[in-house]
Amino acid sequence: MRFQVPQFIEVEDKIFGPLTVTQFVYLAGGGGFFVAMWLLLPLWLAIIIGGPVALFGLALAFYKVNDRPFIDVLQAAFEYNLKDRLYIWDKERATKPKVIEQKKVQKEDDPGKYAPAATSSKIKDLAWSLDIKESMYSDKDQR
């Protein structure tokens, strides 16, 4: 029995045209708030109050910092500001220069130094190449 292995599970589905569901919700929320302010308030006040909220929704939908969504950056900022921090100053340790000695930790007969590291990207590349080669040489009647 053959099973199809899902590919590209990290990519969100585009449901509303070129937009994902989360992008559509952010844009609809920001735009809806701006339209509500425009209908309820004078135009200049609607631009002052609703404009930043609409721009915030636009940033949430499309702006990325180091290829990470803007919402992740906001979450990290809130967690950092709410977390307790303790700063300790040790005058003796700060004035003495540190001498770092590097020791060889691996033994000479350690097999780990001969084996290459298997990272997640290498595993994904290997799975992708195996899937492509399998589909190239498989029987076309099996679908």
For the chain, count helices (H), then strands (E).
5, 2
Query: Residues 6 or more apart from 33 whose CB is under 8 A from it?
Result: 50, 53, 54, 57
| Element (DSSP H or E) covering residue 86 | none
Instruction: Quote the mean pLDDT of the chain.
Output: 79
State residue 127's pLDDT score.
78
Model pLDDT for residues 34-46, shown as the tens digit of each residue? 999 999 999 999 9
Q: Is the pLDDT of residue 32 over 90?
A: yes
Average pLDDT, stretch 62-68? 91
Is the distance from CB of 136 to CB of 128 less than 8 angstroms? no
State residue 7's pLDDT score.
80
Which value, in Å, is the radius of gyration of the alpha carbons in the chain? 27
State residue 60's pLDDT score.
93
Average pLDDT, stretch 42-67? 92
Percent of the chain beyond pLDDT 70?
73
Q: Is the pLDDT of residue 143 over 50?
A: no
Model pLDDT for residues 84-102, shown as the tens digit of each residue? 888 888 777 767 666 565 5
Percent of the chain beyond pLDDT 90?
39
